[in-house]
Amino acid sequence: MYNVRKNAERACASTDKNQWKGHGPMWMRKEYWTELCDIWGAGKWNENSSKVKQNRAAHPKANVHTSGSVSFATHKARLLKRPPQFQELFDETHKKKGTNDYISEKARKVAESYSRGMDERYGDDSQHPELDPDIWVAASGAPKKGHVYGFGHSLGTTRLISSCSSSVSHATSPFTTPASPGGSSSAAPTMTLDMFRAIVNETVS
């Protein structure tokens, strides 16, 4: 979300996150943006941000989730001349530089499980969508403390995929409004696929 934060900072000429609340991106729901601004303005987020910087310095062989002002997704799309598969982005950020080895056993197992799931559902690579949230949640596990493995800490993406963690067993869509207690689910989309892709791109930026 680096670019989104920078855009808000430029728009109101301030680093005060409370002032950013009226300058969110068009593709994000206002209440999500407001909550993000509250998170960014809290001491806990700044503490975590410092830890992330320390982790980057401590693990120079690993590609991390940031790569300057151009995200891995954007860079990969330019190289491939097509939208990248999410697994390609995951491999880019979870393999040791210059090798084909994953940075952890968990990363390897999740990637292999997701790849098998995609092959079973869609067949050969040419039929694969850019991302299947159901299969990803099944491979990586349910969100923990609001964090979906492989997606950093993007609130929009986390909430979207959290809704889909139940779809693994309940066959609901991550793009529809969840059913209210005792009621039926609504077919009205809460977020379009283009918005979802935008969040994914920002997540790995």
Q: What pLDDT, in 10s, does the model give residues 23-65?
A: 988 888 888 888 888 888 887 776 776 776 676 666 555 555 4
Distance between CA 107 and CA 32 in Å, rounded?
29
Q: Residue 179 pLDDT > 50, yes or no?
A: no
Q: Residue 98 pLDDT > 50, yes or no?
A: yes
pTM here is 0.44
Residue with tokens 């990363």: 107
Indicate the residue type of 103.
I
Segment 69-76 mean pLDDT: 49
* Per-residue H/E/C for 81-116: CCCCCHHHHHHHHHEECCCCCECCHHHHHHHHHHHH
Instruction: Return the SS3 of 177.
Output: strand
Question: Tell me, what's the pLDDT at 108?
Answer: 93
CB under 8 Å, gap of 24 or more: what pairs does 125-131 form?
125/85, 128/85, 130/83, 130/84, 130/85, 130/86, 130/197, 131/85, 131/86, 131/200
- Strand segments, DSSP code E, in the chain are 176-177, 186-189
Q: Residue 105 pLDDT > 90, yes or no?
A: yes
